[in-house]
Amino acid sequence: MAFTEFRPLDEKSLVDYIKFVPALFSKLGNNLDGLTIKEVGDGNLNFVYIVAGPSGSFVIKQALPYIRCIGESWPMTKERAYFEALALKEQGHWSPDHVPEVYHFDRTMSLIGMRYLEPPHIILRKGLIAGIEYPLLAEHISDYMAKTLFHTSLLYHSTTDHKHAVAEFCGNLELCRLTEQVVFSDPYKVSQYNRWTTPYLDHDAEAVREDNALKVEIGELKSKFIERAQALIHGDLHTGSVMVTLESTQVIDPEFAFYGPIGFDVGAFIGNLILAYFSQDGHADGGNDRKSYKEWILRTIADTWNLFQKKFIALWDEHKDGSGEAYLPAIYNNSEVQHLVQKRYVEDLFHDTLGFGAAKMIRRVVGVAHVEDFESISDAKKRASCERRALDMAKLLLKERKKFHAIDQIVTAMQQVA
């Protein structure tokens, strides 16, 4: 059976497909005996199959031309698989330790074959809900972010390379539009897709829709999200796009990748750690009050930012006489000016990070897609109380972000709220 046209696969037809693709078949030792195939997609958009045999394994991810969790009523280009594969390869090139290897990509089938992140890898969000500390998380994720974002920015790119890449990823506009809608628009207006913990947060949701000062900020960030081609960003870097063990951190699912503001990635990750923090009281019980776990989350937030900025700047210093065309060495030719431009760059990035992070938090409380951190708190009143603190924190960050100058101030502000 040939696969010359797109069709959705299932556990059965996937076997035929694998036989047809040497790059995949060979991973199984060209042998289908004892093969197991299991669909495990718990994400919102796509189908993910774990394929495992006695001599090898891989994961197959296929995009269908609609959004899985909504259904065919919300069409979405399956070309997103093309951009996901492109991004996985680029990010894997710069951060091979933290990105699963791509074995195979089939544009016609909107299908990616990649390394199976075998157990005990779990989705980070689930680990955060379970209260598991990941001692290397900040180190790893800061490494991934610094490397992938630095090397695709003008600090490393020639402007020629940059514009070619920007133009290519303009093609991923349908996914950008989805973010524009669900992150930057829907939470601030009446939308059929919005939901929140009712009736407790009815007033809070309404307040978001009537907060003019908030709308000014989200409007500025929305335009920046669309206009500012600063680096190849993952575009969906929440804690559900990271798989972890105690020793390993792997970033999956960059189907929203495009050239956008760096702070959108850093903010997504940190914003989701802040959500995890505010959800902890909902998971506390007699056996575990989650107090020390909350401290660990706070430390991880601070470490993530501090390590990220340190590594990003170290890459900048390392490559300051290199290919990047934003700051030419003949101009930025003394350590004082080098220090000043880096300070300016990082300050701007910090404010973007807070703003975008806050935007990602707000939409998880009053928008279409919620997070398991809160959803798994079954007592609605308790859940609402956690969500409200997260929401209030996010509103503060979005409106007042330019008044903050260090991550410690964010940690302090969080401790004051809860």
Ligand X SMILES: Nc1ncnc2c1ncn2[C@@H]1O[C@H](COP(=O)(O)OP(=O)(O)O)[C@@H](O)[C@H]1O
Where along the sequence are the contacts to ligand X (CB under 6 A)?
40-46, 48, 59, 61, 100, 114-117, 123, 241, 252-253, 255
Structure tokens at 396: 């503060």
CB of 216 to Mg ion, least distance (A): 26
Sheet holding 122-123, edge to edge: 122-123, 242-244, 249-251
* CA–CA gap between residue 105 and residue 336 (Å, rounded): 47
Nearest approach in angstroms of CB 174 to its own copies is: 8
Q: Which amino acid does the sequence have at 178?
A: L
Nearer to Mg ion, 255 or 265 (CB): 255
Size of the site for its own copies (CB under 8 A): 47
Which option in ligand X, Mg ion, its own copies, none does residue 123 bind, with CB closer than 5 to 8 A by kind?
A: ligand X
How many angstroms separate the CA atoms of 211 and 184, rounded? 14
Q: What, of its own copies, ligand X, Mg ion, none, does residue 346 touch, CB below 5 to 8 Å by kind?
A: none
Answer with the entry of ligand X, Mg ion, its own copies, none that 328 interacts with (C-beta below 5 to 8 A by kind). Answer: its own copies
Question: Considering beta carbons, is residue 208 or 242 the nearer one to ligand X?
Answer: 242
106: which strand partners? 111
Minimum Å gap between C-beta 44 and ligand X is: 5
Q: Which is nearer to Mg ion, 143 or 255 (CB)?
A: 255
Residue number, 74 or 327, with CB nearest to its own copies: 327
In whole angstroms, give the CA distance from residue 331 to residue 337: 9
CA distance 122 to 118: 9
Contacts of 158-167 with C-beta under 8 Å, sequence gap 24+, read: 158/323, 158/324, 158/325, 159/325, 161/323, 162/229, 162/259, 162/325, 165/232, 165/259, 166/229, 166/259
- Cα separation values, 339 from 5, 85, 95, 320, 324, Å: 54, 36, 26, 12, 17
Cα–Cα–Cα angle for 280, 191, 188, rounded to 5 degrees: 65
Residue 189 contact among ligand X, Mg ion, its own copies, none, beta carbon within 5 to 8 Å by kind = its own copies
Closest approach of Cβ 245 to ligand X, in Å? 12
Paired residues of 288 in beta bridges: 285
Which residues sit opposite 244 in a β-bridge? 122, 249
Q: Residue 160: name its binding partner from Mg ion, ligand X, its own copies, none (Cβ under 5 to 8 Å by kind).
A: its own copies
Q: How far is the CB of 331 from its own copies (least distance, A)?
A: 5
Verify binding: residue 77, its own copies, rule CB under 8 A. no
Least Å distance between CB 370 and its own copies?
21
Applying CB under 5 A, the residues found at the interface with Mg ion are 43, 45, 253, 255
Task: Please tell me the distance from the alpha carbon of residue 29 to that of residue 116, in angstroms, as a whole number.
Answer: 16
Among the listed residues 228, 319, 320, 399, the single contact to its own copies using CB under 8 A: 228
Site string (201-220) toward its own copies, x via CB under 8 A: -----------xx-xx--xx
| Rg (alpha carbons) of the chain, rounded to whole number | 22
Q: How far is the CB of 334 from its own copies (least distance, A)?
A: 7
Q: Which of 336, 378, 381, 416 binds its own copies (CB under 8 A)?
A: 336
| Residues with Cβ within 8 Å of residue 62, at least 6 apart in sequence | 8, 9, 46, 47, 49, 81, 109, 110, 111, 112
Is residue 312 near its own copies by the rule CB under 8 A? no
Among 32, 40, 130, 167, binds its own copies (CB under 8 A): 167
Please tell me the distance from the alpha carbon of residue 365 to that of residue 371, in angstroms, as a whole number: 8
Q: List the structure tokens of 159.
A: 């402007």
| One residue of 126, 222, 320, 382 binding its own copies per CB under 8 A | 222
- Residue 311 · residue 142 · CB < 8 Å: yes
Least CB distance from residue 91 to ligand X, whole Å? Answer: 13
Residues that bind its own copies (CB under 8 A): 154, 159-160, 162-164, 166-168, 170-171, 173, 176-177, 180, 185, 188-190, 212-213, 215-216, 219-220, 222-223, 226-230, 325-328, 330-334, 336-337, 340-341, 344, 348
